Every structure is written in structure tokens, then in C-alpha cells.
């Protein structure tokens, strides 16, 4: 079973490619444009492995995508490619519209053209799996029930609005054209290879350098945290047994306030990296101006994927966090590679005014 993965050099995509090759052992055609968060060093362990076929390209290039599909004849497309950082979407929403909406539309069109020419048996077995986010559902109050698959969409940022639009396109291609799609909406991922603009790797890197740990607002925003390895196993399970046209919410059963996440990281670093310039690491926590429209709480009800497909996360928040912190401590060359001048420029742009105003 050959599959085509889009965005397979990014954080979740690269983890999925590595997981797929290890667990399934069949070929992956990996299409990635290698924008700022795409990094082939994430896939260094697959150098020379004939099961990993990397192609640098844009999901919005219809002819390129259709040509790859016709050449490699995958039985599934797993669509990770997306602009995915809320703060970046606030600063510059156009890239999110271009990639997440227009790019997904053109990818769907190429998939439909390819699928339509397959023999009947291959048509029946083909799948288009669209990886989305819980942020499309909006924000929850402190006592509201968790998001489920029929929760209404209420996106509050340019990022989540663009992902909601792509979800709707995927749904429409199933109902209008019969394209056998499946959508997954996941909670906040963390783990190895995450670009350090996101909360957990940013805090780890700042802490071991003795820099402030900037926490937005009062730090009481709530997220459900999902270890990326568990997310990968869930996607493989949905791809194998999920019903076409269905949506499956994937969560980690780990609701935490952001401040507690940072304190957990600090405690782990006190234990695992006591040689940091400043300890205890929690003394570095500082509160900065909140971002506009910051959703207060996300929570995922993952009972559907558990009941229908017998999937549950293998990692607890504590075990996943320990593995994550240790990975960043053990992979300093990777960190040095991704924290380039452009990365430092973005961090300065996003955080300097917040910290000055707080």
C-alpha cells in the first residue's frame, strides 16, 4: 500500500511518515514545499530508504500533484500540509487562505481526477484523509461538554477559519462527487520535531537558555494535549477502518491550563537539566499581553474513535512530556538548525511588544 502524504516534512507529518514506515513498512510519497516549518532533517533516519520518496512541491500545483498520483498510484492521500500557527495567522492571514483553502481545493481536484480514473476495485479502496484541528469548533466555557463530531463550527482566528473552510470542502467532495474522504480533528499535539514557535518547544528552549518564559494573559487558557505518536497511531487506525464521509475527533484525554503545562516543563527541566543558567526554571515564568481573540478552552470528546475503531492514546500527559523534554535535550543540533535568523526575527516580532507592554 503506497500512500501520498502532504506536508510530510513538518512536525506532525514527519512523525507520521516515520511512524508509517516503521509500523506499515510500505512506500510513502512525501510532498512538501519546505516552507519555514518544513525540515528534511526531521526525516534524516530515512535517508537512502527506498520506501520514502520525497518530492518538493506545492499542494496547489494541480498538474504536479496529479502527475505524482498517476506515477505512484497511491491507495490513500493523507493531507497534513497547512499553515498552522494562530499567531502567524493574526500577523499575516493571506498565506493561510492560500494554503489551507485554495491549496486544499486544488489537492481535492487532483485527487478526484485520479480517483475517477481508477478501476472499480481500486476506487472502492481509495481514501483521502484530511487532518484538521479542534480549533474549528471555537471556544468552550469552563463547564461546557467537550467538542464532539457534530459540534457546530465557530472558528475565531484566521487559522481556524481557514481550516474550517477546508473541512467543509472535504465534506462537500464526499457528498457531491462521492470522493471517499475521512476527516480527523485533533487536539493540541506535542512531541519531537515540533517547530519552536509553539508553546512547549518554545518554553523548553527558552528555559535551558535562561530566557523568560512568556505566558499569554493570565495563563489559564485550557487545551487538551495529545502526544504526536498517539496521533499518528490514530490516523493509521482511521485510515484502515474509518468510514468514508465520517469525522473522527482525536484527543489525548489531558486537559491542562497553559500555566500548569509550563510549570510541568519547568519541574522536568529542574530534574533533567539542572545546569541551566537559572533554576528553578519556574522563576523564568512571565506574563505577557494576550493575543487577540485567544480561545479560552478546547476539549475533545474522542469516544467515537474509541468505540468504533478501538483506539486510545498510549501516553499519559506525564509520560509524553518527559519523552518530549528529553528529546529536545538530546537533539541540540536539530534545534540549532531550525532556530535560524528568520526564526529569531519572528520571535522578536511576536513577543517583544507583548513583553514590553506587560
Cα 129 to Cα 176, 241, 245, 313: the distances in Å are 17, 12, 10, 19
- Residue 190: which H helix or E strand, with range? strand 188-190
Q: How far apart are CA 342 and CA 94, in angstroms?
A: 19
Contact 95, 24 (CB under 8 A): no
Sequence-separated (6 or more) residues with CB below 8 Å from residue 290: 216, 217
Q: Which of 32, 58, 83, 134 is catalytic?
A: 134
Report the half-sphere exposure of 50 (CA within 13 A, side-chain side).
0
Reply yes or no on whether 94 is catalytic.
no
The neighbouring-strand residues paired with 222 are 257, 297
Reply yes or no on whether 159 is catalytic.
yes
Q: Which of 159, 190, 253, 328 is catalytic?
A: 159
Q: Closest Cα to residue 299, out of 243, 221, 201? A: 221
Q: Which of 83, 135, 197, 315 is catalytic?
A: 135
Reply yes or no on whether 32 is catalytic.
no
Q: Closest Cα to residue 74, out of 95, 51, 90? A: 51
- Residue 116: which H helix or E strand, with range? helix 104-116
Residue 74 CB neighbour total at 10 angstroms: 22
Report, as residue numbers or ranges, the catalytic residues. 134-135, 159
Amino acid at each position: 500500500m503506497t500512500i501520498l502524504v502532504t506536508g510530510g516534512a513538518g512536525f506532525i507529518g514527519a512523525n507520521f511518515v516515520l511512524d508509517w514506515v516503521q509500523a506499515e513498512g510500505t512506500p510513502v510519497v512525501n510532498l512538501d514545499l519546505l516552507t519555514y516549518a518544513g525540515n528534511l532533517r526531521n526525516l534524516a533516519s530515512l535517508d537512502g530508504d527506498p520506501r520514502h520518496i520525497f518530492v518538493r512541491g506545492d499542494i496547489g500545483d494541480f498538474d504536479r500533484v496529479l502527475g505524482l498520483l498517476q506515477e505512484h498510484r497511491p491507495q490513500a492521500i493523507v493531507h497534513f500540509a497547512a499553515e498552522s500557527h494562530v499567531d502567524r495567522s493574526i500577523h499575516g492571514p493571506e498565506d493561510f487562505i492560500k494554503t489551507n483553502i485554495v491549496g486544499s481545493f486544488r489537492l481535492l481536484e487532483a485527487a478526484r481526477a485520479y480517483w475517477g480514473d481508477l478501476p472499480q476495485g481500486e476506487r472502492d479502496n481509495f481514501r483521502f484523509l484530511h487532518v484538521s484541528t479542534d480549533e474549528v469548533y471555537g471556544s468552550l466555557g469552563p463547564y461546557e461538554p467537550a467538542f464532539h463530531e457534530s459540534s457546530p463550527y465557530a472558528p475565531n482566528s484566521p487559522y481556524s477559519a481557514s481550516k474550517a473552510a477546508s473541512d467543509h470542502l472535504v465534506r462537500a467532495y464526499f457528498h457531491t462527487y462521492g470522493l471517499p474522504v475521512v476527516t480527523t480533528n485533533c487536539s493540541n499535539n506535542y512531541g519531537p520535531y515540533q517547530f519552536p514557535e509553539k508553546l512547549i518547544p518554545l518554553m523548553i528552549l527558552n528555559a535551558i537558555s535562561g530566557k523568560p518564559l512568556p505566558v499569554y494573559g493570565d495563563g489559564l487558557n485550557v487545551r487538551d494535549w495529545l502526544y504526536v505518536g498517539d496521533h499518528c497511531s490514530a490516523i493509521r487506525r482511521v485510515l484502515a477502518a474509518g468510514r468514508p464521509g465520517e469525522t473522527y475527533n482525536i484527543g489525548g484525554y489531558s486537559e491542562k491550563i497553559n500555566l500548569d503545562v509550563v510549570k510541568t516543563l519547568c519541574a522536568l527541566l529542574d530534574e533533567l537539566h539542572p545546569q541551566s543558567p537559572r533554576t528553578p526554571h519556574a522563576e523564568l515564568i512571565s506574563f505577557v499581553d494576550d493575543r487577540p481573540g485567544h480561545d479560552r478552552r478546547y476539549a475533545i470528546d474522542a469516544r467515537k474513535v474509541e468505540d468504533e475503531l478501538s483506539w486510545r492514546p498510549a501516553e499519559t500527559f506525564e509520560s509524553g512530556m518527559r519523552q518530549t523534554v528529553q528529546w529536545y535535550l538530546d537533539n541540540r543540533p536539530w534545534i540549532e538548525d531550525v532556530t535560524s535568523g528568520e526564526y529569531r526575527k519572528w520571535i522578536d516580532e511576536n513577543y517583544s511588544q507583548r513583553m514590553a507592554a506587560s
